[in-house]
Structure 1
Amino acid sequence: MLHGRGDEQTAVERLLDAARAGDSGILVIRGEPGAGKSALLRHAAERAGDLRTLRGAGVESEAELPFAALHLLLRGELGRLDALPEAQAEALRGALGLGALAPENRFLVGLAVLSLLAEIAGDGSLLCVVDDAQWVDQASLDALVFAARRLDAEGIALIFATRDAAEPAGLPELVLRGVDRAAATALLPADLAPAVRERILDEADGNPLALLELPAVLTPEQRAGRLAPYTKIPVTSRVRQAFLGQITALPEAAQLVLAVLAADDTGSLGVVLRACEEFGVGVGDLESARRARLVEVAGQEVSFRHPLIRPTAYQNVPLTTALAVHRALAGALDGREHADRRAWHLAAATAAPDEDVAAELVRVAERAQTRAGYAAMAAAYERAAELTPDPDLRSVRLAAAAVAASDGGRFEHAARLADRASDIGDPLALAHLLQVRAHVHVDKGAYAEAARVIVEGAGPIALLAPERAAYLYLEAIRCAWFGAAAGPALRAAELMPPVDVPLVGGALGLAEMMGGEAPKAVASMGRLLTDPDISGLGIPGRLFLAHVALASGRPSLADEVAARAVADCRARGMDGWLIVGLAARMQALACLGRYQDMIEAREDGTPLVGDPALLDGPLAFAHAELGDEERGRGGGGALGAWALGRLELALGRPEAALKAMEPVAGAAYAPFSLFMLPDRVEAALRVRDTSAAEALAGRYAEWAEAVGLPSALAVAARCAALVADDEERFALAVQLHEGGEQPQEEARTRLLYGEWLRRARRRAEARTQLRAALATFDRLGMSLWAERARAELRLTGDVPAAPRRADDPLSVLTAQERQVVRLAATGASNRDIAAQLYLSPRTVGYHLYKAYPKLGIAARSELAALVG
């Protein structure tokens, strides 16, 4: 019985009941040490009944070993790996060290974990409990959280227990506070004197472990009431003192065994005893600790009775003994599967710089990279740097640690590592450090600042490695472009080394555009886009190509290139670049009017990258275009400003629209200051600022004529028609839009042309344009613009139909259901769909089961005809 935890037990049991019913659920139990987290996990396992149960735990000394905790959790089920798709099975085997090292693919490992858990749950529901999650290695935690966020209808209950404010974050939580006084009293022995009882109740502060352990160390005299005064200290320290008293009561040999066990991270009785042989202690001394109820032995496994005993036992021995213990454990570990553990124990046993040990850790980092363990890779390089005697090599390894942390999406830590790499002479490492520092700003949406960081720091690299510097200046121009910062872009172009790098022409074109030279810029970028061979480009280069395509009025090409880059980032587990890739793709989709696809891309990326600020602007733009006023006002950056401007324009508030777009209006041809020019033309005319409208229309026309593409020329003709009040240009704009790739802009043109015709009292012709505009707005889900078209139609005497999206039969589905249905309509199996969408096959089936009645169909065979 758990005293004082009735509500918490009910929450756990509710999760188990849901799993039995086929629904999946996640719970993170948080609390201070001794709060009862482990007891609740045991309660869950006891109540699981017919549920299959997997148990795992974090071990503090294993926190830098990639996938150590995952191996502990899944080790009894690895025989099922053959049931997974081959690529997933290969990735998980490689991650766990069971097969050939697979190419880095962190997300595929997460998907494999999800698929394996679903496979296990296929025999009946499943309970997974992970204790001490604050010590789970980052690679395991990433894979488990990835799976947790994708759980839906597998019948899996996944419960983590962790410390306050520790990972995992962003999942449903249950926070354990101290138990009430009545429950606390019930946990105390009956033979305590009243004053002693009150003293312990006060000291324990509702902590169940303290309530159980503090009385156990009292002498008979103390239990009777003879207690010395005390100073109030945190309850965890009190409990550790109680455990320390039990440890120091043992013979020194038994205390040494406990120190070895505390430093061990395998839980293997054989490993612990082999290490103990170095000190002349052994199984008899371990038995003393077992009789004292400090450790538990089950078969060939040995563990501490409570997690707090481990640090207490470790800290009980002198530093020299702790170093010797780690060296003994390194010697006790043999075989390739223990190579990383052996290296980390050698590092823990080394107090001074040692190149041999540092080199071992570099090999650990290289293995971690192969297994997509970026956090472990960063940690290994960082510790290797600390043990490296040579200052230059130390800085190079710190730079490698910074890059790994950045690639893993941990930008602040990456920046701290970069700051520690001083006086570095290697140009490649220098370039990596500069890019890491810039990426910290990119992650926050501060593109302009990122560009300035690169421009100010790339000079020394240009002298040593001009080609590498060219790529840095290229990145600076890209950041300046999206930050609407012409100054850094022009300075980067000025400093660009004269090297033959494929993307330099495109970079110079962007800089020229920001300098107001649209025709020259488009010519420079056009040469790059004539035959864009991306086969030899890395992720940054391909994303840059996407930006050049967007600036050249080719959003479809930008989307194609960005989508492929995003897929590669997923496959390689590159969180940092995945965020940038998602932003690039959402920006391209914004220009294509594919707003629901923008939201789906963002939602699909959430389990992978969390909630970065960089994606706030694109997401706000999508919501604004879809008529969600509240969420359309939540974005930052240039795209957020454009979103707000278009929202205000759709709501009939031109003055507010101009004010919203003003912060990024100054840059001549930065991406969204360029694309918002037509909106500013319309808003300026509605507030009767004709001269401003003429100037804005002229700037847009200069770019459109240089680009020469029908979509761009159509919008330029629309702007000219508005400024000149010219029907002929309206008609030209409509004609140019035909067959174009921007339906939202064609609808806007037809709406404005219809308004013009209606004011000219040509109502029948106006209705033709307005009905076409309305149909497109409805199809795209642009409800505010659709309402404007309906209002105009009513003024012509027409009675428009109620809001609908007649051309989108999938509009009744959720975003996830739409993705599943579209893939199912192509003939893909549930298993194929699951692999593409990072879901379990059972969840795919569940979404289809929910979608069929909404779509009015009964079988999968009907999907192809419906989706078309």
Structure 2
Amino acid sequence: MLYGRAGEQADIERLLAEAKTGQSGALVIRGQAGIGKSALLDYAAGRAEGMRVLRGVGIESEAELPFAALHLLLRTGLDRIHALPDAQATALNGALGLGDIAPENRLLVGLATLSLLSELAGDGALLCLIDDAQWFDQASIDALVFAARRLEAEGVAMIFAARAGFHATGLPELRLGGLDGAAAAALLPADLLPQVRERLIEESDGNPLALIELPAALTAEQRAGRLSPVGAMPVADRVQEAFQTQIAALPEPARIALLIAAADGSGELETVVGAGASLHGLESAERSRLIEIRGTIVGFRHPLIRAAAYQSAPVTRRLAVHRALADALTSSAAMDAADRRAWHLAAASLGPDEDVARELEETAERARTRSGHAAIAAAYERAAELTADPVRRSGRLAAAALAASDAGLMGRAAALADSATPDVDDPDVIAALIQVRAHREFELGTPLAAGRIIMDGVSRVAAHSQEWAAWLLVEAIRCAWFAGDARLAEEAAASLRALPEVNSPLVSGALGLTRLLSGDIGGGIELMGEAVDVYASAGLGVPGLTFTASLCLPLGRAVLYEEITGRVVADCRKSGMIGWLTSALQDHGLAQGWLCQYGEARAALNAGLRLAADLGHEHRISHITCSLAWVLAHQGDAEECRANAEEGVARANAQGLVPAAAIGRWALGLLELGLGRPDAALQQLEAIPSTGIAVLSAADQVEAAIRSGRPEQAKEPLARYLAWARHVRQPSSDAIALRCRALVEEDEAHFVDAVRLHEEDTQPYEQARTQLAYGEWLRRARRRADARAQLRGALEVFDRLGSELWAERARAELRATGDVPAAPRRADDPLSVLTPQERQVVRLAANGASNRDIAAQLFLSPRTVGYHLYKAFPKLGITSRAQLAAIARSSSVLD
């Protein structure tokens, strides 16, 4: 029976009830040791009638073994891995050491975990109980939290119990405090004197384990009321002292057995006995209710008992036990025996030991084959601590720093990099350390500071490897672009030009960005154009393609931008490059928005935003938030656009992300124009600094200046846009340039030419903007019939695209000509009734993808894909999957 937890029990019962109806959910129960987290997990297990239950518990000594905890949790369901899509099954088998092929990324393992949980739920429901999650290895946590965030319609309930140190952003939490007085009193023995009961309630702070264990540790005198003052200690320490008192009273064989089991952590009876624990000692400890032996597994009744058993032993005995465990594991056939042996040898080492360091290095490389980046970092870090040679030590620290950076542990990565010897001369090590420090600064500091880190160290790299130096300088220019800093870009470009020529379009593209930043539009466009034109034959991988795609934006090449970013998204998903996928989804969403595919753009950006949050990519969150606001501005979703833009701009400004903030301000300027508030629009657009975005947004700045009655403020942005359009030579930019000239010069010929040119481009939104502006001009000239033709054309496009604010402006203008415009409609986009995620699912299903294929692409479970199709069919007025293709073909947005 649980005392004082009625509210928490109700929350758990609600979660289980929803899972039994097919709705998934997750819950994190937080609280100090002994507060009752495990008891609530036991309660959940007891209430899970008709549900399959999986249980796992974190073990502190295994926190550096990648996927060890995940294996323990899933071990009873591993026979269903074969039912997963091949790539997921391969990844999960590799992660758990059941296959030879290593997973290519940790989040593919997370997706496989989600699919397996859905498979194990079957037609019923599944409950996953995860205790002491703060001691799970990071790879297991990444996979489980990834799965938990994506639970929707699988009938899976996941409950994590954890102390401090467990991070699961985005999951609902339940924080446990101490019991109230009545509930606390109910846990104490009835024969205690009143003053003793009051003292224990006060000292326990309502901690249930303390209330149970502290009375057992009282002496006869203390039970009789002779209590001495207790110092200010956390409750957990008091409980641990109580356990230490119990352990001290045990015979020597039992104490040794407890120490060996505590140091081992795996719970394997064979290993514990092999290291010197006697069966008699284990039996004695079990009779004292300190451990439980189930089959061949030894488990502690509470984690604090393990801590008490280990910490109460003298250091010499602890070192001897670790050596004994290492010896016992030498002949073990367990898949992780070599890794555990290396860690026990490290724990037994008092100083530098190159042999042990090499074993830990091998452990790190085995962890690499399983994408255990946090484990790689830990093993290399400990190996470095055991390394006497400063050069070799720096190399291991660099490897640890890179792995920590890959694991998202930016602070730890930077600290490891800073620990390396400053006079190391290995170019690979120097470049790795520079990359880690710059990456940390880029993600958590500012792009400008990241670029300066590269510039401060690149000369040391160039002295040994000019190729490494070239790639670092390209990255420095990229940092300068994100910071909007022309001086940093020019400094990096000068160093790049001083190196022997590297035959890569990335170099010319970076030099082009530098010229564009310095105001040389023609020179920048020429170099970037050269880079983009040869990209297909350059053999670029995902990083190079991502950089090339970003050049398409200032080049005005929307179709190529969408083409390259679509390829990058596909490549990232196929190869499992999840870290790059956030950037790819942002670029692809922006490209789709540029081509007026607003539904697809929102879906891609929302997917990228979710993934960026999972990975902790704070700067990418800012970029995507601003890009999403820009798409929403085109559709006229005022509330969501403003919320995203204001949040994104504030974040980007704080992070020094100039292009991101510029896109956010552009979104606000577009929104204000659509709302008919040109003064507010001009204020936002004029605040955009001199960047590539300032060129692209100049046309809207021209219109805002004219509509607000300030034609003199249109001159500079007009000149800026005309200069850019003259160099990029795209039909759309030429047409927009003519529209701007028509607005400024009041020349109808420019309007006529602009409308004609729009017929050659792929941006119907801009065509409708031109027709609207021309129609307004014609109406003011009292040429109502001519005005109606342009306004009707604009209205038809705005309605089809779902650009509601602009469509309403066209209707108002039509009404002013005496016409009666049609009601709002989106006949050409039947998928407009769907949510962004339903739209993605339907689009893939219409192209023939199975639920499993769709789930793999969108990081969902197959059951959730089926749920979205189930919700979409009634909205589309269809009853079968076969009808989707016809619906998709009729949607101009999907063509």
With the shorter chain as reference, the TM-score category is over 0.9
Q: Find the counterpart in structure 1 of residue 324 from structure 2.
A: 328
Aligned residue for 2:12, secondary structure, equals helix
Amino acid at match of 1:551: P
Give the CA deviation at 1:110.
1.4
Q: Find the counterpart in structure 1 of residue 502 from structure 2.
A: 500
Q: Find the counterpart in structure 2 of residue 122 from structure 1.
A: 122
> Residues 488 and 235 (structure 1 numbering): CA distance in 2 closer, same or farther, change over 3 Å?
same
State whether structure 2 residue 628 is matched by structure 1 residue 625. Answer: no
> Residues 447 and 696 (structure 1 numbering): CA distance in 2 closer, same or farther, change over 3 Å?
same
Q: Find the counterpart in structure 2 of residue 588 from structure 1.
A: 591
CA–CA distance in 2 between the matches of 1:140 and 1:606?
Answer: 22
Q: Find the counterpart in structure 2 of residue 34 from structure 1.
A: 34
State whether structure 2 residue 524 is matched by structure 1 residue 525. Answer: no
Give the CA deviation at 1:537.
2.8
- Contact 1:438/1:451 (8 A) holds in 2: yes
1:857 to 835, 859, 878: 878
Aligned residue for 1:635, secondary structure, equals helix
CA–CA distance in 2 between the matches of 1:437 and 1:662?
Answer: 35
When normalised by structure 2's length, the TM-score is 0.92
Q: Find the counterpart in structure 2 of residue 634 from structure 1.
A: 647
State whether structure 2 residue 688 is matched by structure 1 residue 664. Answer: yes
- Contact 2:586/2:604 (8 A) holds in 1: no
Q: Find the counterpart in structure 1 of residue 353 from structure 2.
A: 354
State whether structure 2 residue 312 is matched by structure 1 residue 309. Answer: no
> Residues 764 and 353 (structure 1 numbering): CA distance in 2 closer, same or farther, change over 3 Å?
farther
Q: Find the counterpart in structure 2 of residue 770 from structure 1.
A: 791
> Residues 779 and 314 (structure 1 numbering): CA distance in 2 closer, same or farther, change over 3 Å?
farther
Q: Find the counterpart in structure 1 of residue 177 from structure 2.
A: 177
Q: Find the counterpart in structure 1 of residue 656 from structure 2.
A: none
Q: Which moved more, 1:77-86 or 1:534-543?
A: 534-543
Q: Find the counterpart in structure 2 of residue 142 from structure 1.
A: 142
> Residues 499 and 348 (structure 1 numbering): CA distance in 2 closer, same or farther, change over 3 Å?
farther
- Contact 1:408/1:576 (8 A) holds in 2: no
Identity of aligned residues (%): 58
Partner deviation per Cα, 1:511-532 (whole Å, 9 max, x = no partner): 1122222222222122222231
Give the CA deviation at 1:357.
1.8
Structure 1, unmatched stretches of 5+, are none
Give the CA deviation at 1:71.
0.3
> Residues 88 and 484 (structure 1 numbering): CA distance in 2 closer, same or farther, change over 3 Å?
same
1:696 to 689, 696, 717: 717
Give the CA deviation at 1:145.
1.2
Amino acid at match of 1:309: I
> Residues 366 and 658 (structure 1 numbering): CA distance in 2 closer, same or farther, change over 3 Å?
farther
Amino acid at match of 2:552: A
CA–CA distance in 2 between the matches of 1:47 and 1:132?
Answer: 21
CA–CA distance in 1 between the matches of 2:537 and 2:825?
Answer: 41
CA–CA distance in 2 between the matches of 1:863 and 1:434?
Answer: 51
CA–CA distance in 2 between the matches of 1:350 and 1:298?
Answer: 33
Q: Find the counterpart in structure 2 of residue 93 from structure 1.
A: 93
Partner deviation per Cα, 1:201-259 (whole Å, 9 max, x = no partner): 00111111111111111123322212112223221111111111111112333222212
Aligned residue for 1:158, secondary structure, equals strand
CA–CA distance in 1 between the matches of 2:858 and 2:724?
Answer: 39
CA–CA distance in 2 between the matches of 1:87 and 1:233?
Answer: 51
Aligned residue for 2:381, secondary structure, equals helix
Q: Find the counterpart in structure 2 of residue 554 from structure 1.
A: 557
Q: Which moved more, 1:67-76 or 1:357-366?
A: 357-366
Give the CA deviation at 1:703.
1.7
- Contact 2:184/2:201 (8 A) holds in 1: yes
Q: Find the counterpart in structure 2 of residue 675 from structure 1.
A: 696
Give the CA deviation at 1:663.
4.2
> Residues 371 and 763 (structure 1 numbering): CA distance in 2 closer, same or farther, change over 3 Å?
farther
- Contact 2:486/2:518 (8 A) holds in 1: yes
Partner deviation per Cα, 1:332-370 (whole Å, 9 max, x = no partner): 222344222222222222232222222222222222222
CA–CA distance in 2 between the matches of 1:463 and 1:641?
Answer: 43
State whether structure 2 residue 413 is matched by structure 1 residue 414. Answer: yes
Partner deviation per Cα, 1:728-749 (whole Å, 9 max, x = no partner): 2222222222242323222222
Residues 737-776 of structure 1: matches in 2 within 5 Å? 737-776=758-797
Question: Once superposed, which parts of structure 1, at least 4 consecutive aligned residues long, lie more than 6 Å away?
Answer: none
Give the CA deviation at 1:707.
1.4
Q: Find the counterpart in structure 2 of residue 736 from structure 1.
A: 757
Aligned residue for 2:56, secondary structure, equals strand
CA–CA distance in 2 between the matches of 1:548 and 1:867?
Answer: 31
Residues 159-178 of structure 1: matches in 2 within 5 Å? 159-164=159-164, 166-178=166-178
Q: Find the counterpart in structure 2 of residue 469 from structure 1.
A: 469
Q: Which moved more, 1:15-24 or 1:383-392?
A: 383-392
CA–CA distance in 2 between the matches of 1:415 and 1:27?
Answer: 32
> Residues 444 and 728 (structure 1 numbering): CA distance in 2 closer, same or farther, change over 3 Å?
farther
What value does the CA root-mean-square deviation take over the aligned residues? 2.1
CA–CA distance in 1 between the matches of 2:376 and 2:585?
Answer: 24
State whether structure 2 residue 667 is matched by structure 1 residue 643. Answer: yes
Give the CA deviation at 1:165.
5.9
- Contact 2:686/2:701 (8 A) holds in 1: no
Give the CA deviation at 1:63.
0.9
Give the CA deviation at 1:445.
8.3
Residues 47-58 of structure 1: matches in 2 within 5 Å? 47-58=47-58
CA–CA distance in 1 between the matches of 2:500 and 2:545?
Answer: 21
Give the CA deviation at 1:323.
2.2
- Contact 1:150/1:607 (8 A) holds in 2: no
CA–CA distance in 2 between the matches of 1:446 and 1:727?
Answer: 47
Give the CA deviation at 1:568.
4.4
Give the CA deviation at 1:535.
6.6
> Residues 159 and 332 (structure 1 numbering): CA distance in 2 closer, same or farther, change over 3 Å?
same
CA–CA distance in 2 between the matches of 1:446 and 1:781?
Answer: 37
Amino acid at match of 2:283: E
Q: Find the counterpart in structure 1 of residue 75 from structure 2.
A: 75
Give the CA deviation at 1:430.
2.1
Give the CA deviation at 1:567.
4.5
> Residues 565 and 353 (structure 1 numbering): CA distance in 2 closer, same or farther, change over 3 Å?
farther
Partner deviation per Cα, 1:376-433 (whole Å, 9 max, x = no partner): 2222222222222221222222222222222233333322222222413222222232
Give the CA deviation at 1:574.
5.1
- Contact 1:149/1:607 (8 A) holds in 2: no
Q: Which moved more, 1:591-600 or 1:50-59?
A: 591-600
CA–CA distance in 1 between the matches of 2:250 and 2:181?
Answer: 34
- Contact 2:106/2:143 (8 A) holds in 1: yes
Partner deviation per Cα, 1:616-669 (whole Å, 9 max, x = no partner): 32233233333233333221222222222222232333333333234432x2xx
- Contact 1:493/1:511 (8 A) holds in 2: yes
CA–CA distance in 2 between the matches of 1:805 and 1:728?
Answer: 32
Aligned residue for 2:463, secondary structure, equals helix
- Contact 2:599/2:839 (8 A) holds in 1: no
When normalised by structure 1's length, the TM-score is 0.95
Residues 684-723 of structure 1: matches in 2 within 5 Å? 684-723=705-744
Q: Find the counterpart in structure 1 of residue 341 from structure 2.
A: 342
Amino acid at match of 1:93: N
CA–CA distance in 1 between the matches of 2:607 and 2:684?
Answer: 29
> Residues 360 and 743 (structure 1 numbering): CA distance in 2 closer, same or farther, change over 3 Å?
farther
CA–CA distance in 1 between the matches of 2:840 and 2:150?
Answer: 14
Structure 2, unmatched stretches of 5+, are 650-660, 890-895
Partner deviation per Cα, 1:532-589 (whole Å, 9 max, x = no partner): 1377434332211111222221233233333443444456665554443344334434
> Residues 429 and 720 (structure 1 numbering): CA distance in 2 closer, same or farther, change over 3 Å?
farther
Amino acid at match of 1:194: P
CA–CA distance in 2 between the matches of 1:262 and 1:536?
Answer: 53
Q: Find the counterpart in structure 2 of residue 283 from structure 1.
A: 279
Give the CA deviation at 1:714.
1.8
> Residues 778 and 396 (structure 1 numbering): CA distance in 2 closer, same or farther, change over 3 Å?
farther
- Contact 1:330/1:341 (8 A) holds in 2: yes
Q: Which moved more, 1:442-451 or 1:493-502?
A: 442-451
